[in-house]
Amino acid sequence: MNHQHVVAAAVFNERNEVLLALRPQHKHQGGLWEFPGGKVESGEDAPRVLVRELREELNIVPTRMRPLIRIRHQYPNQAVLLDVWCVDAWHGAPHPHDAQRLEWVTLEQLVQKQFPAANLPIVSALRLPPLYLITGEPAAGSSAFLATLERCLRGGARLVQLRAKTLDAADYRELAQTALGLCHKYSAQLVLNAAPELARELNAHGVHLSSARLMQLTERPLNRAQWVAASCHNSEELAHAQRIGVDFVVLSPVLPTRSHPGAATLGWEGLQQLCEECNVPAYALGGMKVEHLHEAWRHGAQGLALLSTVWDAAQPEQVIANLL
């Protein structure tokens, strides 16, 4: 199927607000908010088209940009490929060419706006940070675990998966409650690698589904007020994750790891192929280091899912600060 290639920009200002434009009523999807951009014709380079469109539409010139997410969507009368970029440095003063209404909104306000259906994964991608921190096991006890968690939060971690496979259900529940309080203190979000019912009961920020738990589900286990994430290792698991409506995925293993020596890996090209099949944000996991962030972005990922690189570091807060 041929998709109309459309490039779009999430333009940020110095207050970390993103610029939205209101589609005119007489146009397709009129009255809905959108991210500025335009069509990419055959043979054109998407970043150059985006620079041109932002100059013509808004009178601004991007000076720093990076890929965010690519989304394929089928409308009743048109298939589109949305090629979305983050623009966080630019010259000029935004001024609409067609008297289109513009509005700067915070990332929290994005969920209150009405967008075309194809744009909804962009909202998720913008609300998600470049780091998805996965906790280590609380082998040395909960005090040491919580101390490490707080150091990570102090360093800037804002999305954390509580992964504690060695704990029984009661101990995991107790640790989750304490970790939630700590995350609230730093305005961070905690996703539980546990049964969705526990995430609902504790009012956690979401649930992370292992690939085994994912494949047992036939529908999304939580409402849209909480994140639903899933671990995926191949096209089959990825397709099922999207079918039940997850918000983001973790793709692994990208590179060899110490914990699974000799295991088959996706490699960067395999990661990119899965990202091309993916209409939700995807984190790269497995052998990832801080210096891999730009490579992950270049191959279509939202960012990095890190465990030992951060959790086992002598100064985890510094590792996170270096990444962010």
pTM: 0.94
Distance of alpha carbon 83 from alpha carbon 81, whole angstroms = 6
Q: Which residues are bridge partners to 319 per DSSP?
A: none
- Please, what are the domains in the chain? 4-114 (3.90.79.10), 131-323 (3.20.20.70)
What is the separation, in whole angstroms, between the first and last Cα of the chain?
38
Distance of alpha carbon 154 from alpha carbon 151, whole angstroms = 5
Q: Once rounded to an integer, what is the mean pLDDT over residues 60-82?
A: 90
pLDDT tens string 189-225: 999 999 999 999 999 999 999 999 999 999 999 999 9
Distance of alpha carbon 10 from alpha carbon 84, whole angstroms = 7
pLDDT tens string 267-279: 999 999 999 999 9
Name the residue among 135, 100, 97 with its Cα closest to residue 316.
135
Distances (CA, A) of 267 to 92, 106, 238: 40, 35, 17
Which pLDDT band, with edges at 50, 70 and 90, does 28 fall under?
Answer: low
Look-up of token digits 């490490």 = 148
Angle between helices 142-155 and 316-323 in degrees, nearest 10: 30
Q: Once rounded to an integer, what is the mean pLDDT over residues 68-94?
A: 91
Question: What is the chain's Cα-based Rg?
Answer: 20
Lowest mean pLDDT among 34-38, 127-131, 142-146, 257-261: 257-261
Q: If you count them, how many residues does the chain have? A: 324
Using CA atoms in the order 86, 89, 91, 97, what is the torsion angle rounded to 10 degrees?
Answer: 20
Beta-strand ranges (E) seen in the chain are 4-11, 18-22, 33-34, 37-39, 60-75, 78-92, 102-105, 131-134, 159-162, 189-192, 206-209, 227-232, 248-251, 282-284, 303-306
Q: Is the pLDDT of residue 26 over 80?
A: no
Distance of alpha carbon 321 from alpha carbon 301, whole angstroms = 20
Distances (CA, A) of 188 to 110, 135, 160, 235, 260: 18, 14, 8, 31, 30
- Residue 97 has phi, psi (to 5 degrees) of -70, -35
